[in-house]
Amino acid sequence: MLGLNKKDSTLLIVVAVLTLFAPFILNPFPADSALAQFNAGYPDLMQRFVVFGIFAIGFNILFGLTGYLSFGHAAFLGIGSYAAVWVFKLFTYNVVPAVILAVIIASIFALAMGYVSLRRSGIYFSILTLAFAQMMFALAYSVLSNPKFNLTNGETGLQVYADDPQMFHRAGLPDLPHLFGLSMRATYDLDIGAWSFSFNAGYYLCAVVMMVVFYLSIRIFRSPFGMMLRAIKSNQTRLNYTGLSPRPYALAAFVISGAYAGLAGGLMAAMDPLAGAERMQWTASGEVVLMTILGGTGTLIGPVLGAGFIKYFENIFSKINDAVLHQWFAFLPDGMEDFVVFIIHPFVGKGWHLTLGILFMLVVIFLPGGLVEGGQRLGKWIKSRGKSEETDKAKIEPAE
């Protein structure tokens, strides 16, 4: 299917089913139940899942295939957001030209940054990318917010105002990001019994884009170009002895990865027409590194799983406060209830990073291949259990 083998086609179908039916899958609990706290099927969070999934897929093309660890990829995320918002301000609210420009501008910056950074490898490459990203963050936060040429609006962030030119914005079109008239905030709510499901236009646009870029990443992984990138990661010295220079291939991977990040930034702006310098901070770059490692570096679906895992913790666990904990453990005696809440309190709410850190350490120690390796081990265990049961049955001799 689409030039993919059976295994990759199955993987693409699984990703498509998960994204298209996410409003059902992520809302397993009734809206009025205590466990509704763990539902994640609302539009804003689902959009974050797929947008950061795109970001992580692109980063994995660089880090997972070539082994080059970049600490500056958030710069392209921010650049894509700024480019998209400028399209909204100057031309139109249509998301198509905004996203296209975001990809182009991010690719140009990635080409410049990669050309310089790839002169070094290892930790020196990582530090160079971090330095470039922090320079861009400083430019966006202060220098480019100068009133004479205010391109970023500093710490306030760049946003669209009623008096902006918007040269191609016609009457009758939504006054917010849209796809040829379909508002990105258009949402259809479906109530089935005690369950409530939301189908958002913006989410499905991001979901379709993610499926397309996921398919492209599969083709890259399986292509001769992808094999060259793996050779770079495996042994650059040996590759040099063959007469092939690894640098053009690594630079191409860096630009493709930056384009993915710019696409994610453009989609973020399309969902919420605001761009701020905080999207370019080193912490955002570190976050995509965690997503990729947690899901499974060098795997196809791992970065998507890692992005969903981290964003779920960030948005769900961070909302569990003492009031929620007391509600959950109200059946316990008062002293026991307070003790249990006291024990759990540091790991939820504002302390969700502690829980995430512990889980990340456990994954790195016991599952170096990330969540994908965990799923593979579980599948092998289930298969081995089934085979052992069949063997045991075969050994049983019928009674005479």
pLDDT digits (tens, 9 = 90+) for 5-33: 888 999 999 999 999 999 999 998 888 88
Given a contact cutoff of 8 angstroms between Cβ atoms, the answer to whether 290 and 126 are in contact is: no
Topology of domain 6-282, per CATH? ABC transporter involved in vitamin B12 uptake, BtuC (1.10.3470)
Given a contact cutoff of 8 angstroms between Cβ atoms, the answer to whether 19 and 27 are in contact is: no
- The residues pairing with 275 across neighbouring beta strands, listed in sequence order, are 158
Exposure string for 362-399, b = 16+ CB within 10 A, e = fewer: ebeeebebbbbbebeeeeeeeeeeeeeeeeeeeeeeee
pLDDT digits (tens, 9 = 90+) for 38-76: 888 889 999 999 999 999 999 999 999 999 999 999 999
Tell me the mean pLDDT in the region 149-177.
85
pLDDT interval class at 239 (50, 70, 90): confident
pLDDT interval class at 400 (50, 70, 90): very low
pLDDT digits (tens, 9 = 90+) for 295-351: 999 898 999 999 998 998 888 888 888 888 888 888 888 889 889 988 988 888 888
Task: Supply the DSSP symbol for 118.
Answer: T
pLDDT at residue 398 tops 60: no
pTM (two decimals): 0.91
pLDDT interval class at 118 (50, 70, 90): very high
Share of the chain above pLDDT 90, in %: 50
Q: Of the ranges 3-12, 136-145, 307-316, 387-396, which one carries the lowest mean pLDDT score? A: 387-396
Q: List CB contacts of 76: < 8 A, sequence separation 6 or more.
A: 106, 109, 110, 258, 259, 261, 262, 265
Domain locations along the chain: 6-282, 316-394
- What was the pLDDT predicted at 332? 87
Q: Of the ranges 46-50, 125-129, 381-385, which one carries the lowest mean pLDDT score? A: 381-385
pLDDT at residue 394 tops 80: no
Comparison of pLDDT for 397 and 94, the residue scoring more: 94
pLDDT at residue 399 tops 60: no
- What was the pLDDT predicted at 391? 64
pLDDT interval class at 221 (50, 70, 90): very high
